Structures are given as structure tokens and as C-alpha cells.
Amino acid sequence: MLWETLGAARDIGRLNDIASILIRYGFGDMVRRLGLASVLERAGKVLHWKQVSELARLEPPARFRHALEEMGPTFIKLGQILATRVDLFSPEWIAEFEKLQDQAPAVTFEAICQQLQEDLGCAPQEVFVEFDPEPLAAASIAQVHRARLQDGTAVVIKVRRPGIRPTMEADLRLLARVAELIEAESTVLRRFKPREVVRQFTLSLRRELDLAAECRNAERIAHNFTDHPEIVIPKVYWPWCSERVNVQQYIDGIPGRNLDAIDQADLNRKVLAQHGAQAALKMILVDGFFHADPHQGNIFYLPENRIAFIDFGMVGRLPEHRRNQVVNLLYGMVEQDAQGVVEVLLDWAGDSPLDTESLILEIDGFVDQYHGVPLKDLDLGLILTELTALLRDHALNLPPDLALLIKAFITLEGVARQLDPDFDMVTEASPFLQHAMLARYAPEVLAKRGWRVMAGTVDLLTGLPQDLRQLLRSARSGRFQLHVDVTRLKKFGNQLDRAASRMAVGNVIAALIIGSSIVMTIKGGPTLFGLPLFGILGFIGAALGGIWLLLSIWLSGRGR
């Protein structure tokens, strides 16, 4: 029960708030199923079951989104993470999650200055000659202000909201316990892997709470675009950065949502779309380190058709083997190679129960519908959306890093198409995909791969004598054990066990028949209808055992 797993009584108040919000938005049944009602009743809390909001008449996705907003910053962030799980949720749920705006009431300027003084070790006025008391933005985790350094450089100061970490840590503890309950109690929701979702969310949120980590992410991406002057990443001013504060270059550009200002500034929309797409493809397919939240609010357009990316709190990472899989998948879709697409998806499926033949047939039909379609007419974002819908139908969940990648990719293509309705992502992606495919077989790459294999082989051969010595020592001492786990052998063993049980019952029935026959020939003892009572009971027992045995055999034959 949740009461036994609840780590501390300090979370009860927060749990009561969450349960009350869920009830108000028509999710009272969820509160009961999760056992939250009994927990709060034991703690002396009273839930008002009839206090239902007018919003409870909306569709479940909209109600859930409103409930998340009211629950506070942690749950808003959770909804934003869920918006990336296009492999788990249908489009109507994703659309609602995407409406979650990471906005919060501004913290007073005095509270911000007090925390800044603690982090800077001096009064903010000693570092900044100007400090705008009105925030540029106030989000759930941090607040942003404009300022100027002593040399006149325009910067933005991002300050973590005072006291936000303890509240979020309490919410994360509750989410972890609720996820455990969901997996234990609900077979319907178990396929969404709530514990894994909460684990990934916890890691992401704790990284985002560390504002210095955002600076490191920005510098890493800036380094990757050193030779690309069309992409601008804000400079980080490390002397004044810490876990709760970061100071970065102020980007004076046209916000991504202001399309009219782009035309007024005489910028080329087609070129901007091309630069943005190429930057995204490089981050994903070449660098393996990408901006995971590239919506229009995090993009600015600058003179000379340059693009600036800001806010690197949420990033994605793709190791080399994962990049190879993504390249194979995209290349297979662009080149209409159904078998290549299927092989990647089967790798992602892992040990998940899967109807492989059905998946192969559907993927083959999915890819074949684009056969002969000109590249310029392919909508790669739409293709990925349809592919994730197909995966949902097969209850196949993507690894979290890939779900984040697909969502970022679809978002970026949407931004590019808003700039240029005729934008063709496939044409932009094709050179990157071909280069990535050829790069695998470059001499230096093959040499590196061969060296790695050879080093592994040498390590194996070097350790072989010691492993053999240990194996022989275990065999001599009688401690050698061999474990074999074969599914078919286990099934065969179960069949043997059932056959032996039936044989034992058959022997007992035969013994009862023979024994009862002998009793019938002996005079004396209690009788029933003039026949020996124990003989009759023996025949009745044999008859019942025979009926059970026949039913068991019949039912076993039907279940084959």
C-alpha cells in the first residue's frame, strides 16, 4: 500500500493537494484506484468528492492538461516531457500537452537580488551597471532579467526561483511512488512504462534545475558550430555562473513567432528555413548532441539570415550506435527500403512481445505507399508521425532518447515550413544521410573499428588462461554449476509434470477399483443397500477421479 511506501509525513500535504485537484477535474476514480483516498483518510485528511469543476465536462486530454497546470511547475514540466512521447500518446493527447505553457508569476525583484547576492558573493550592483527589475520571462524553474556588465556588454541573467528545489523534489518522490502503484495495479497503464517515464523525467528535471549545466550544453553546441557563422549560440560568462544563476549574451533579434518582422527586416525566409534545418540535421546526425526543445520561442532571426538558438536546458544525446540506427531508419524511408526500416524497429523493440510478421507486413505497406513519390513531395515530419502511430498500434515503445529526437525533428520541420511553405526536409536531409552512410566506411573509421575489435580480441585471449584456470578449479572443488534456461525445455517439463500427475491419479483410481472389488467379496462390516459401504465409497471415489482425469485431458486438448 502507498501508506507503507510513503517515505515521509511531510509529503502528505502535497499529496492531499494533488488528490483534490484530480477530483475537481473529474479524475476521482483514478484517486481511488491508486489508493490515494485511503492514504489521506488514514492521515486525517478529508477529500471533497462532490467538488467537481465545470472543466470536468471537457474531453479527458483537456481535463488532464488543466489539472497538470494547476498542480504546479513539476507537473507542467512532466506534461512537456509527455508531449515528446509521440510513441505513447495519440495526437489529441500530444496536442493538449503541447499547450502547457511554462509560465509562472514573477518573483519579486527583492527576492531575486537577495539570492543573487548569495551566489555572486557581493551585491548585484557591483557586477552589473544596469539591472532591469522587470523580468523578460518568468518560468516555472527560473526567471530572466536583462542587465549590463561593467564593460557595457548586454547580457541576460537567468536566476532559479528561490525555494523551488524542495518543492520539486517532494513532487518527484510522490510521482515515483504513484508510478510504482500504477505498474503494480493497472495492466492497462503498465504498457506506458510509468516508472521508466518518471525516471527519465526526474533525470531531465534535475539537469534543468542546474543552470550551470545549461551553460555547458550551450558551449558544447557553440563549439560544434565554430565553422558555421550563420548559427549563433549565446556566449556564456562563467565568472558569474553557478547552479542557481547563469549569465549569457543577450540576443537582440527577431523572435521566431514574429513572421511579419522577418519580412520587414528583408530577411530571406527560404534561406532561414534551410539554415535552421541544416543546423538541426548536423546536431542530430553528425554531432549526436541536439537542442531538444527547438520551438519558436527559443529561436531568433538575425541580420544576414543568421539564426540564434537559446535555452539549452533540455538537450538530447545520441551515441554512435544510436545515430547509425537513426540514419538507417531515415535512409530506409527516403529510399523506400522497407526491410531496412523493419530491421531498425526490431532492434528498438528488444525483448518486447511483438507480432513480428504483422509488423513487417504493415511497415512494408507503409513504405510502399511512398514508392515513386518525388522527394520534394515527401513530408518527413508526417512520415515520422505516421510511423510512431503504427508503433503505438503494436504497443512498441521507443527508447526515451529516440522519442525526444523524433519530437524535436518534427518541431523543427514545422518551424521551417512556417518560414517556407514549400520547404523540403527530405532534400535537405539526403546529403547528410548519404554522407553519414559513406562515413561509416571511410578508411580511418574502418581502421578505428578494426583496432577496437583487435584490442577486444587480445583482451579476451589474454584473460582466457585465467578464466580456464578458475573454471577447472571450480570443477575440481565440486562448485561447478551449469544453468540452462530454454523456454521450450521449460514447456516440455511442464507437459511431463502434467502427464506424471495424471498417471499418478490413474494409478490411484485403479487401486480404488481393485481395492473396492476385493472389499465387495468380504462379508461383514457396515452395508448400504445390502452392499459393503466401503466398497461403494471406493467406487464413488474412483468414478469422481475418472471424471476429473477425463475433463483434464479434454480441456488440455482444447487449449492447444
Residue 368 in grid coordinates: 510502399
Q: What is the pLDDT of residue 5?
A: 45
Report the C-alpha dihedral over residues 165, 168, 174, 180, rounded to 10 degrees: -100
Among 146-150, 170-174, 516-520, 555-559, the range scoring the smallest mean pLDDT is 555-559
Residue 351 in grid coordinates: 525483448
Residue 554 has pLDDT above 80, yes or no: no
Confidence band for 372, pLDDT divided at 50, 70 and 90: low
Phi/psi of residue 483, each to 5°? -110, 125
Q: Are 233 and 225 in contact (CB under 8 A)?
A: yes
Segment 75-85, tens digit of pLDDT: 888 888 788 77
Residue 29 has pLDDT above 90, yes or no: no
Residues 405 and 284: their CA atoms lie apart, in Å, by: 8
Among 311-320, 436-445, 451-460, the range scoring the smallest mean pLDDT is 436-445
Confidence band for 1, pLDDT divided at 50, 70 and 90: very low
Residues 371 and 365: their CA atoms lie apart, in Å, by: 10
Residue 102 has pLDDT above 70, yes or no: no
Percent of the chain topping pLDDT 90? 15
Residue 183 has pLDDT above 70, yes or no: yes
Residue 237 has pLDDT above 70, yes or no: yes
Residue 60 has pLDDT above 60, yes or no: yes
Instruction: Please state, as a whole number, how many other Cβ atoms lie within 10 Å of the Cβ of residue 289.
Output: 18
Cβ partners under 8 Å of residue 470, min gap 6: none
Q: What is the pLDDT of residue 6?
A: 45
Instruction: Please state, as a whole number, how many other Cβ atoms lie within 10 Å of the Cβ of residue 375.
Output: 15
Q: What is the pLDDT of residue 3?
A: 42
Q: What is the pLDDT of residue 245?
A: 92
Cβ partners under 8 Å of residue 177, min gap 6: 2, 5, 6, 7
End-to-end CA separation in angstroms for the chain: 38
Amino acid code (one letter) for 261: A
Please confirm, yes or no, whether 171 is among the known catalytic residues.
no
Residue 275 in grid coordinates: 539554415
Residues 117 and 455: their CA atoms lie apart, in Å, by: 53
Distance of CA 9 to the CA centre of its chain: 30
Beta bridge partners of 148: 130, 154
Q: What is the pLDDT of residue 330?
A: 75
Amino acid code (one letter) for 360: I
Residue from 293, 337, 351, 422 carrying the catalytic annotation? 293
Tell which wins on pLDDT, 8 or 160: 160
What average pLDDT does this structure show over 160-173? 86
- H or E element at residue 236: none
Residue 63 has pLDDT above 80, yes or no: yes
Residues 409 and 425: their CA atoms lie apart, in Å, by: 10
Q: Are 22 and 30 in contact (CB under 8 A)?
A: yes
Residue 130 has pLDDT above 60, yes or no: yes
Pick the closest to residue 99 from 143, 67, 62, 57 (CA basis): 62
Q: What is the pLDDT of residue 40?
A: 67
Q: Are 14 and 170 in contact (CB under 8 A)?
A: yes
Phi/psi of residue 107, each to 5°? -80, 145
Residues 411 and 418: their CA atoms lie apart, in Å, by: 11
For 253-272, b/e burial (b = at least 16 CB within 10 A) is: bbebeeeeebeeeebebebb
Distance of CA 483 to the CA centre of its chain: 34
Q: What is the pLDDT of residue 2?
A: 45
Beta bridge partners of 142: 160
Q: What is the pLDDT of residue 351?
A: 59
Radius of gyration of the chain (CA): 33
What average pLDDT does this structure show over 441-454? 69
DSSP string, 89-157: S-HHHHHHHHT-----PPPPHHHHHHHHHHHHSS-GGGTEEEE-SS-SEE-SSEEEEEEEETT--EEEE
Q: What is the pLDDT of residue 145?
A: 92
Segment 500-533, tens digit of pLDDT: 777 887 788 888 888 878 777 777 677 777 777 7
Segment 457-472, tens digit of pLDDT: 777 778 778 778 777 7
Q: What is the pLDDT of residue 8?
A: 46
Tell which wins on pLDDT, 333 or 112: 112
Q: What is the pLDDT of residue 486?
A: 54
Q: Are 45 and 12 in contact (CB under 8 A)?
A: yes
Beta bridge partners of 139: none
Q: What is the pLDDT of residue 454?
A: 77
Residue 324 has pLDDT above 50, yes or no: yes
Which DSSP category does 398 fall into? P
What average pLDDT does this structure show over 296-317? 90
For the chain, the average pLDDT equals 79
Tell which wins on pLDDT, 484 or 305: 305
Q: Spell out the domain ranges in the chain.
A: 105-138+141-250, 265-440, 487-558
Confidence band for 219, pLDDT divided at 50, 70 and 90: very high
Q: What is the pLDDT of residue 308?
A: 94
